[in-house]
Amino acid sequence: MQNPFADFQLLKSRNIAIRAGEQRILFDPTSIPNKWRSTNTTICISHAHADHIAGFRSTLRKLVTPETLEIYKSVSVKPNKVHPIPTGKKFSFEDGGTIQLHRAGHMLGAAQFVFERNGARLVYTGDFNLQSTLTAQGAEPIPCDVLLMEATYGRPDAIFPPREQVYAEIAEWTSQELKRKKVPMFRVYATGKAQEIIRIINTYLTVPVIVDSTIAKISQVYKSFEIPLAFYNERSTEGREMMRQGGFVYLSSKKLPANRTLFGQPVSKAVATGWARIFPMKKYDKAFILSAHADFQQLVEYVKQSQPRAVHLTCGNTVTFGAVLDKLNIKQIEPRQRKQLELSDFL
């Protein structure tokens, strides 16, 4: 039988891309090489975080979830040639092969891409999280031949506490700071982390949440996809009135003000990130270990369940996690700069 990967190549310079027959597929590209600007090139955009959305500016065909498209449109201009594909649905290429989108759990709209051709299956995870959160249902590992996966927390010390425990810690700290007449303030990513913190405060406490205007726009998109969030835009009349009265939580996606007061009220600054497990967060009064990514154990779990024949680590601790792959007897595909690799050599 013919090797189903006979015409697969992994291409990598700065971007992760594959070639299969006449098709070229770029995953979350940061730039599009000139030679790739043809009708046979498809861009897959896994989610709406800033380091993944450069492909929206391209005039090439783009596959995204409807949620990712709406988040992008809420803060940027409407892109062209976009094919919104809900998770679970398939896109078929003209010369054979399909791409199906699966939930990635990382944030609203985050998708894994499953490319199938000639009986071979390749998965690009994008950023993922196997654990469900208050704002996103967890991802499931997808069995495949070749796995292109993130390894942001691919180091053994990156093991996160149970999410419910962190939620309770956030609620407790917030309520303590309010009792001390401080404004609990969270510095967050405008997309994903902000909405999870709003939902935590809405769920555990009865205090108003004031957000900056970028967070407000994106949170409206979350609401339109039926994720309940109660918040006030700091620029709205109601928001300003709430701030004047005091007794609120504040979320900012921008650099924190140096004077540490809001409407004359002292501020306690917090951050919520997986990196707080590894590094001291000295700029903040409090740091919570809350990540939208898989921790080390989840990365191992994904590989064990998906049983790939070969793995390419797209980002993160590739050397440390590469050693884990060795132990699991799974080949690691390590492209050299500007070198095209025949995937069949690794299988």
- What separation in angstroms does the CA of 84 have from each of 45, 253, 322, 333? 10, 27, 34, 30
Main-chain dihedrals φ then ψ at residue 208, nearest 5 degrees: -65, 145
Residue 111 C-beta: closest distance to Zn ion, Å? 12
Other C-beta atoms closer than 10 Å to the C-beta of 6 total: 13
Q: Find the part of the chain contacting Zn ion (CB under 5 A) among 127-135, 251-259, 272-280, 315-323.
A: 127-135
Q: Which is nearer to Zn ion, 128 or 250 (CB)?
A: 128
Residue 68 C-beta: closest distance to Zn ion, Å? 11
Residue 227 C-beta: closest distance to Zn ion, Å? 17
Q: Find the part of the chain contacting Zn ion (CB under 5 A) among 70-78, 123-131, 132-140, 157-165.
A: 123-131
Q: Which is nearer to Zn ion, 184 or 316 (CB)?
A: 316
Residue 256 C-beta: closest distance to Zn ion, Å? 22
Non-local (6+) Cβ contacts of 37 within 8 A are 59, 60
- What separation in angstroms does the CA of 159 have from each of 132, 238, 294, 295? 16, 41, 9, 5
Tell me which residue has its CB nearest to Zn ion: 49
Three-state secondary structure call for residue 72: helix
Residue 127 contacts Zn ion per CB under 5 A: yes
Q: Which is nearer to Zn ion, 127 or 177 (CB)?
A: 127
Q: Which is nearer to Zn ion, 178 or 276 (CB)?
A: 276
Residue 2: DSSP 8-state: -
In this structure, is the dihedral angle defined by the CA atoms of residues 311, 313, 71 and 25, taken in order, positive or negative? negative
Q: Which is nearer to Zn ion, 218 or 267 (CB)?
A: 218
Q: Find the part of the chain contacting Zn ion (CB under 5 A) among 29-37, 45-53, 81-89, 247-255.
A: 45-53
Main-chain dihedrals φ then ψ at residue 176, nearest 5 degrees: -60, -45
Distance CA 110, CA 102 (A): 8
Residue 150 contacts Zn ion per CB under 5 A: no
Distance CA 199, CA 171 (A): 11
Main-chain dihedrals φ then ψ at residue 194, nearest 5 degrees: -60, -45
Residue 141 C-beta: closest distance to Zn ion, Å? 18
User: For the window 280-319, what string marks contact with Zn ion as x by the rule CB under 5 A?
Assistant: ----------------------------------------
In this structure, is the dihedral angle defined by the CA atoms of residues 96, 148, 43 and 39, taken in order, positive or negative? negative
Residue 49 contacts Zn ion per CB under 5 A: yes
Please name the residue that has the structure tokens 């095209």: 340
Residue 196 contacts Zn ion per CB under 5 A: no
Contact, 149 vs 311, CB < 8 A?
yes
Q: Which is nearer to Zn ion, 36 or 56 (CB)?
A: 56
Q: Which is nearer to Zn ion, 24 or 49 (CB)?
A: 49
Residue 82 C-beta: closest distance to Zn ion, Å? 19
Residue 107 C-beta: closest distance to Zn ion, Å? 7
The residues of the shown chain that bind Zn ion, judged by CB under 5 A, are 49, 127
